[in-house]
Amino acid sequence: MLRGQVAGDADLVRAAQGGDATSLGLLLERYRASLYGKAVGILGYGPQAEDAVHDTFVVALRKIDAVREPAAVGGWLHAILRNVCLMRLRAGQGEVLSNELYGGVDGDPSDPTGEAAIEQLAMREWVWTALSELPEVLRVTAMLRYFGSYTSYAEISAILGVPVGTVRSRLAQVKAKLAEALLETTGLAHAEAGRLTASTNRFFLELFAENNRAEITPASMDVYSKDAEILWTDGSSIRGRENLAAGFRSDQEAGVKIHLTNVLASRDIVVVEADFENPPEDPFHCPPAITQVYFYRRGRIQQIRFYYPARPNGED
């Protein structure tokens, strides 16, 4: 395409299908006004119409690869919007809860919740770039809901220490804000999100390897603030770098090892999932697994929230 030439719909679709987020953002922005006008015609003026457009955008983010006629993408987007609006009408124009529709995502390109669409984009670096633009409380909730292993409202409530209603409210905000953020960040260097995840993964692999070698080095403890704290879901906590180190040593001396299973990294927030390996003589010293949510301040870990999922049935 020559410099200054306006890309057609087909060009933007093909580029977006090849992973070019900027082209996808341009395409969605091109149809924003007409989609909103159609939503108003079905739902009337008000926040429901704007929400329907956001839902359509998030569905399109996942399903753009399914477009077989790139030149007809406008009709495809409008068909998604119509289905989203009709679903909202059937739901009484209220929030469509994910647990009501989640199972139909793969077969229905117009999934109005948008949640599974986000989840399917977990490996897209530009999604992580967009997540970094969300406020911290929304970002950590989205990371746990869409990319973690313990994703129910009750589990997220326990991990973050907030009511279930707060979790629901935050996720409702996330959906709208993420759709906007994905458009606003299409011109950013999305590779930075991939580098952050890779470097964070390497850091925790080494940190856990040190733990499994029964080592606690000054360098590894220096990543924690002097007044860093660990919070458990039962309300208990410990504070201070030295107290954290003592707790780590206690598990090391017991012969407990920890194995990394998943790392989710965003600006100032890291979610770590891991499995415990208990010594044969003390098989229940630690629970089978843990989710840790790290909050950073000024480059150091300020707070960690620990969540232990329930043991499998039959284990005490």
- Give the model's pLDDT for residue 192: 58
Mean pLDDT on 61-78: 87
Mean pLDDT on 86-95: 69
- Give the model's pLDDT for residue 173: 83
Mean pLDDT on 93-103: 37
Banded pLDDT at 315 (limits 50, 70, 90) = low
Is 28 or 245 the better-scoring residue by pLDDT? 245
Angle between helices 136-147 and 164-184 (to 10 degrees): 100
Q: Is the pLDDT of residue 294 over 80?
A: yes
DSSP 61-78: HHHGGG-S-GGGHHHHHH
CA angle 93, 98, 100 (to 5 degrees): 80
Banded pLDDT at 312 (limits 50, 70, 90) = low
pLDDT tens digits for 246-286? 999 999 999 999 999 998 888 789 999 999 999 999 999 99
- Give the model's pLDDT for residue 236: 95
- Residue 31 buriedness (CB in 10 A; 0-12 / 13-18 / 19+): buried
The β-bridge relationship of strands 289-297 and 237-239 is unpaired
- Give the model's pLDDT for residue 308: 94
Mean of pLDDT over the chain: 79
306's enclosing H/E stretch is: strand 300-307
| Domain 192-307 coded CATH 3.10.450.50 | yes
- Give the model's pLDDT for residue 60: 81
Mean pLDDT on 101-129: 46
Q: Highest mean pLDDT range out of 17-31, 63-77, 108-122?
A: 63-77
Topology (CATH) of 1-116: Rna Polymerase Sigma Factor; Chain: A (1.10.1740)
Mean pLDDT on 231-243: 94
pLDDT tens digits for 37-48? 899 998 888 778
pTM confidence score: 0.64
Measured CA to CA, the distance from residue 172 to residue 115 in angstroms comes to 10
Q: What is the residue extent of each domain of the chain?
A: 1-116, 192-307
> What does the block give as tokens for 151?
């994703």
Mean pLDDT on 127-150: 82
Least confident of 187-196, 237-246, 281-290: 187-196
Mean pLDDT on 153-171: 92
Banded pLDDT at 217 (limits 50, 70, 90) = confident
